[in-house]
Homo-oligomer: A and B are copies of this chain.
Amino acid sequence: MTQSAENYFISYIKENGLSMTPQRKIIVETFLETEGHFSAEHLHDLVRSKVPDVGQATIYRTLKLLLDSGLADTIETGDGGALYEHAYGHDHHDHLICVHCNRKIEIFDETIEARQEEVAKQHDFKLTRHRMYLYGICPDCSG
């Protein structure tokens, strides 16, 4: 799947008249092989451990491409930052976040999704996307 995701990115690049550079390649590969939710800075560190001279601006610019292409998604941390995660081949989900240890669990609830559509319809809105964050205390932290 990682391979097809990379191909997907290459297609996206070509379709938009952009170039596939070594920097973009290493960033995308590192992104794809990194599981979970991570910051731009963390991705930058991972990339630099392979290719030391990649600038942070390139990380941000490439993450933007990953978002636009649909390969990546973000979680807003609430304090002005963002975390990134894989979106390609992953179904939509929301997050349940432990306010103590910051653990993030992916959740999905059909009833909620359906009601979101319904609520939007009640207001004549065309729903394009949504974000839902549930904050609480996880079992490990409440013991």
Contacts and interface: CB of A to CB of B under 8 A. Distances in A.
A130 B126 contact: no
A96 interface: yes
Interface stretch (A14-22, A31-39, A61-69, A114-122): A114-122
Copies of the protein in its oligomer:
2
The range of chain A's interface size is 35 or more
Nearest to A131: B133
A52 interface: no
A116 to B, nearest CB: 6
Contacts of A4: none
Given A127-B134, A131-B131, 7 more contacts: A96-B123, A98-B125, A109-B119, A115-B115, A126-B137, A127-B136, A131-B135
Interface of A: 76, 78, 80-81, 96, 98-99, 105, 107, 109, 111-112, 115-116, 118-120, 123-139, 142
